Structure 1
Amino acid sequence: MDHSKKWITAGILGLLFVGINLYFIKQDLLLIDRTSIVHDQTTAQTEDLQEILVKDGVIHTATEQHVYFSEQLGMFTRFLVEEGQVITSGTPLYEYDVVDLEEQRLLFDSEAEQIRSEINAVESYISELETLERQLSDATISSSSADANPTSSLDDQELLLNIELEVGIDISDATIDQTRSLLNQQIGEQEASVGRLEAQEAKFKSLSEGLEESPTVQVESDFNGKIAHLSEGVENPLITIYSDNLASQILLTDEEALTVLAGMKTSVTSPVAKSTVNGAVVANPQLPEQEPTTEEKSLYSVDVDLQEPGPEWFIGQHVVNEIVTDEALGATTVPSISLDEKRLYTLTPTGMIQPRIVDLGLRVEDRQEVYSNIEPAEWLVIDPLQVERFNSAYITPMTVDRLTTDNLGTLGKRSSWKHVLLGVLPKY
């Protein structure tokens, strides 16, 4: 056979070899073994995920109170406060001269009588609560020792129903101690309410008696806060009072108004105050700030209550709000790019690639919550395209810079010889 025929024969054999292998690869992946080279791998992590909506806002008062004046009471004379003045409950706000002393006296007496009726109603409610508290103590004492455990639930269903009706809270799962604490808390709140009502009653009685000496009446504030505005005339509202509590006012789009809910945690940062405070969304009534039109998109005003802002925080500051619209605390997470739809490829200790179908939760940027079929610290493939075939072997590239003599000391002699023999002995 001459030289040219040898080359032709070798070429035909080479093409046949390549063609058969390409056929196997193309037509039936089960006829050949494939080993995936995994360049990028990581472990599932445990972390807190938060979906954040960032909105600009402006500091405003949390509540705005208005004081009104009726000319039927008499003739307005003068303000006793100034704009920007800090006031407390009981601070004199303005004066007016009474025109009809007898009518004004009857009005004050009527207010005092109405408040007295409210006091009697609250005191009657307190008596009912105290009766229930005594019945609860009697039921605890008369029950068996096991049932008398303060951490156990109340078995007297009739008493339980009466307590729920009075306090307006479901206590079916509450312990005896929790029920007693709830009753005592309610009693304390009502007693404080009686104190406030008695102070108002005394104020109107004093005003009625003062008319005998002078026709001039001083109107006092029922609120704490700061005087925001005084009417130039006698137009109502006569006085506007901002409360001490501050809020951040933000505007939401249509889509954001569906997402933001009352009670959502918020972090509010002020560049002026150079600090950040916690807050919470007060409410989202989903009412447009202005009359809606077809030409412009609607915006919806929402307030975020601020928790303990410092003295450097004041009305008018522009702030940045970070509203937590969703969160997953202590979640098992993986890189979002490691998912092939709902499939992950994990790396087993035996050197195999194992697919896992997982359930997905919250996704935040490049991190995805996975709440089934994988545990933290399990290894997985970052790029699914590096997987040639699952349920098959994988290798990782050699890291040359780690092949140093310093690393030899990390293995014992037995382990070192084991790896040497595995590398040189044939496998059958």
Structure 2
Amino acid sequence: MKKINVKGRIIGILIVAFVTTNAFLIFLDEGEQVDRKSYINEWSKTITYDLFKKMDTKAVFTSEETEPVYFNEDVGSFNEFLVEEGDTVSEGDDLYTYDVLNYYQEEARLEGEVSRLEEEIDAIEDFIDEIESYRVPDPPDTNDNNSSPFNNNSGTSDAPPPSYIETEYMKEEKMAEQETELAKQEAMLEMVEDQLDQLQDEGDRITVTSAFSGTVSEVSEDLESPLLTLESTNLVLEGTIPEQERKEIEEEMVVEIHVPELEYETTGTLTSVDDYPEEVELHRSSRYPFKVSMENPSEELLAGYHADLKITTDESLGVVTAVEKALETDENLYAWVMNAEGILERRDIETGIEEQGLVEILSGLEDGEWLAVEPKDEFRNEAIFFTPLHTDDLRVRQMFKMERQSILTYGLLGILSR
């Protein structure tokens, strides 16, 4: 008969009882009197970084400006076109001719147009002088906030005054706008004066010249209005965004541009965002038009090419950042911090912008702090943590090059510390 190993069975039972009892005591340890340890095999470090929030959308290249050219049949009879579709024209180039029906009536009309344009030019020049002479206050005087010639706000004086930089920018923007309008009116005046000179010199036939530089995109052979359509050679991007995203974008935001057709990438600026949708329908989301301008775009770009856009709607520069997977959500957002004392600490945090797995930390963490990532079931507040030993990082040979006395000293210190 086989002899039963009573001693072995007793030892086994004692081991199981010991483990079970300790596990049970830990389970009942509401006061956390038993030291617990957390094994961490993956961790991450907070860093200072620049984060950007971006919105993806699409747009198409089109001419920056379109100029229709009209012919009034009441002033004469059309003679001939002097341009064709696709022709490039500059200011002063001939477009078409017509024969005058009533010399004196047409002369009076052209003279009246000259006077009107001269008055408009004088008014624009006076406004430009007023803008140039305006001194931007620093700091701004809240009592004189509405005295600015380029302040378009019609609200009450309770509105906060714009900052110095904002006001200076508004001044420069209004100056550029008025100078563009002045150049346009001067070109129109030159065109009308040229027609008047032709009428007074020749008497019956007038050649209409262009007040616009661009390309002839349409010619109305049946003389329907507009007679000609001119488009500028400068390209802009036009697109629309849904109403859910309208409040997220505003003018002057930076835009990343990618043209798949050419594998071309550049940047631009959001120059306009409409406050009114293209169409209004009850059962359909409204879409709001926007425009993006570029500096020195590629000459290979053509009107009609499509582009993928990334609009930077928000940014946080030089902020404390953590990887997203190091953050936990219960009732509030928190992270497990591996502090310098070797203790795992649960800490509540507040976050901001998220970009490609990185999260802005508004409060709760500082730059250079270590965060536990995995395994999450090992995380316990105020527990001692330990991490794997990376033998590849150890300089084993140097350990054995130490003096015998040093090895003995450190060994004894290790034993005594236990």
Does TM, scored on the shorter chain, surpass 0.5? Answer: yes
* Secondary structure of the structure 2 residue equivalent to 1:426: helix
Partners of 1:282 and 1:303 within 8 A in 2: yes
Partners of 2:93 and 2:210 within 8 A in 1: yes
Q: Tell me the distance in 2 between the aligned counterparts of 1:412 and 1:152.
A: 73
Deviation track 1:38-93 (CA, whole Å, cap 9, x = no partner) reads 10112112222233333343322222222222211211122222211222222222
Which residue is 1:390 aligned to?
381
Q: Tell me the distance in 2 between the aligned counterparts of 1:70 and 1:152.
A: 50
Deviation track 1:369-403 (CA, whole Å, cap 9, x = no partner) reads 11222222221112361543222211111112333
* Secondary structure of the structure 1 residue equivalent to 2:106: helix
1:185–1:397 distance in 2 versus 1, CA, 3 Å: closer
TM-score, with length taken from structure 2: 0.80
Deviation track 1:178-216 (CA, whole Å, cap 9, x = no partner) reads 98x998998898788667655544543342232132322
1:161–1:31 distance in 2 versus 1, CA, 3 Å: closer
* Secondary structure of the structure 2 residue equivalent to 1:363: strand
Which of 54, 60, 63 is the equivalent residue of 2:62? Answer: 60
Shift of 1:221: 2.0
Shift of 1:101: 1.4
- Say what the alpha-carbon RMSD is for the aligned residues: 4.1
Deviation track 1:314-368 (CA, whole Å, cap 9, x = no partner) reads 1122332222233323232111111112111122222121222111001223211
Partners of 1:251 and 1:299 within 8 A in 2: yes
Which of 259, 264, 284 is the equivalent residue of 1:275? Answer: 264
Say yes or no: does 1:166 pair with 2:166.
no
Shift of 1:106: 0.9
Alignment of 1:106-125 (within 5 A): 106-125=108-127
Bigger Cα displacement from structure 2, 183-192 vs 73-82: 183-192
One-letter amino acid of the structure 1 residue matched with residue 376 of structure 2: L
Which residue is 2:296 aligned to?
308
Which of 212, 221, 224 is the equivalent residue of 1:235? Answer: 224
Which residue is 1:204 aligned to?
192
Would you tell me which structure has more strand in proportion to its own residues? Answer: 2
Q: Tell me the distance in 2 between the aligned counterparts of 1:365 and 1:215.
A: 71
Which residue is 1:358 aligned to?
349
Partners of 1:338 and 1:384 within 8 A in 2: no
Alignment of 1:87-98 (within 5 A): 87-98=89-100
Partners of 2:191 and 2:211 within 8 A in 1: no
Partners of 1:340 and 1:384 within 8 A in 2: no
Shift of 1:241: 1.6
One-letter amino acid of the structure 2 residue matched with residue 217 of structure 1: I
Q: Tell me the distance in 1 between the aligned counterparts of 2:175 and 2:291.
A: 32
Which residue is 2:369 aligned to?
378
* Secondary structure of the structure 1 residue equivalent to 2:417: coil
1:325–1:166 distance in 2 versus 1, CA, 3 Å: closer
Shift of 1:113: 1.1
Which of 289, 307, 310 is the equivalent residue of 1:322? Answer: 310
Partners of 2:254 and 2:267 within 8 A in 1: yes
One-letter amino acid of the structure 2 residue matched with residue 117 of structure 1: E
Partners of 1:261 and 1:281 within 8 A in 2: yes
1:113–1:300 distance in 2 versus 1, CA, 3 Å: closer
Partners of 1:263 and 1:281 within 8 A in 2: yes
Q: Tell me the distance in 2 between the aligned counterparts of 1:221 and 1:406.
A: 86
Partners of 2:191 and 2:210 within 8 A in 1: no
One-letter amino acid of the structure 1 residue matched with residue 387 of structure 2: T
Which of 81, 84, 89 is the equivalent residue of 2:83? Answer: 81
- Structure 2 unpaired stretches of 5+: 153-159
One-letter amino acid of the structure 1 residue matched with residue 293 of structure 2: D
Shift of 1:422: 7.2
Which of 388, 394, 403 is the equivalent residue of 1:403? Answer: 394
Bigger Cα displacement from structure 2, 225-234 vs 83-92: 83-92
Partners of 1:277 and 1:307 within 8 A in 2: no
Shift of 1:96: 1.4
Q: Tell me the distance in 1 between the aligned counterparts of 2:139 and 2:242.
A: 49
1:16–1:356 distance in 2 versus 1, CA, 3 Å: same
Q: Tell me the distance in 1 between the aligned counterparts of 2:33 and 2:51.
A: 44
Q: Tell me the distance in 2 between the aligned counterparts of 1:92 and 1:419.
A: 101
- Structure 1 unpaired stretches of 5+: 137-150
Identity over aligned pairs, percent? 25
Alignment of 1:222-261 (within 5 A): 222-257=211-246, 259-261=248-250
Shift of 1:418: 10
Partners of 1:53 and 1:323 within 8 A in 2: yes
Shift of 1:114: 1.2
Which residue is 1:424 aligned to?
414
Say yes or no: does 1:217 pair with 2:206.
yes
Which residue is 2:334 aligned to?
343
Which residue is 2:156 aligned to?
none
1:405–1:87 distance in 2 versus 1, CA, 3 Å: same
Q: Tell me the distance in 2 between the aligned counterparts of 1:331 and 1:364.
A: 13
